[in-house]
Amino acid sequence: MKSNSPLSCQPKMSPWGVFVLTVCRWLDSDYRREDLPDPSQLPEKVNWQRTLPFIFLHLGCLAVFWVGISPVAAGAAVFLYLIRMFAITGFYHRYFSHKTFKTSRAVQFAFAVLGNSSMQRGPLWWAATHRHHHKHSDHEEDIHSPVISGFVWSHIGWLTSMKNFPTSYKSIPDLSKYPELVFLNRYDQTVPFAYGLLMLAIGWVLETFFPALGLTVGQFFIWTFFISTTVLLHGTLFINSLAHVWGRRRYETDDDSRNSWLLTFITLGEGWHNNHHRYPHSVRQGFRWWELDMTYYGLKFLSWTGLIWDLRAVPKAVIEEGLPSQQRSA
């Protein structure tokens, strides 16, 4: 009996055909072929060809044993980790995904480019995927729930599945109306490639014209591109995985989200994940004064400059809901 499953309907391809298809998908994340099944209908399994850029990113870190370390290269890697993490947490997450504040078209594009340099795909894919997560958090349709799919799959496995590569543009009509964001999202390897070239160029300038710094172009490139980007990627992914299995729960949400001091330091404030799942519409995730939230402080500073505005606060009722009963107002 002939099967009508997506896999059985997929035509057999030669190695050259697979290579061409893979390259087309690398260069254009919206690339489709009419004779192939809809990727969203495929089973959850690793697609090694499509995942090669991420494998390359991790393998590149091993070159540190060849190039070594210098204080300047390591310092630059930390600095670039912090500013790009802010672009992810402040804009990819709190702006594009949840619209917790308003900004201009130019500023949203600038931070979309900065976030895209982190090799976490385009801002529209990121926002659509995250909105889907909140709609189905820790339930069967959640694509990266450690409760449903296990820790490893929720951390990195889901990111390697062809099923999860397409962007659900229907989930983000408020964002897909901007052609510059659609372009950035569609050709999402362009900015990381340009970022890598920029790191090589800066490394060459520093090695050539500032020899007293004692670094090589290889050191600068490996630390600022490979190591900084890889650590940043896993820091972000820990919120999908670890923040749903480890930490404390202040609110009884319809998922397994947790608050974690450790993840807060790694992600500039995203560790207050149970707070966030209770009220995702707030620009602030550290609901108490003592809950460190560096992303919020950065966004607050940007609001003072006029670059962003209308920051959405946490309602008083939500704050009081998380207090012990004896501390709640009558």
Q: Is residue 158 helix, strand or coil?
A: helix
* Mean pLDDT of the 1-16 span: 53
Is residue 16 scored above 90 in pLDDT?
A: no
21 band by pLDDT with thresholds 50, 70 and 90? confident
Q: In the chain, what percentage of residues exceed pLDDT 70?
A: 92
Tokens 């709640």: give the residue: 328
Is residue 24 scored above 80 in pLDDT?
A: no
The model's pLDDT over 153-200, given as tens digits with 9 standing for 90+, comes to 999 999 999 889 999 999 999 999 999 999 999 999 999 999 999 999
Q: Is residue 164 helix, strand or coil?
A: helix
Q: What is the pLDDT of residue 4?
A: 44
Cα–Cα distance, 198 to 186 (Å, whole number): 21
The model's pLDDT over 40-88, given as tens digits with 9 standing for 90+, comes to 777 788 888 878 889 999 999 999 999 999 999 999 999 999 999 999 9
Cα–Cα distance, 243 to 154 (Å, whole number): 11
Q: What is the pLDDT of residue 326?
A: 43
The one-letter code for the residue type at 287 is F
Task: Give the mean pLDDT of the chain.
Answer: 91
Indicate the burial class of 179 (C-beta count within 10 angstroms; 0-12, 13-18, 19 or more): exposed
Where along the chain do its domains lie? 18-327
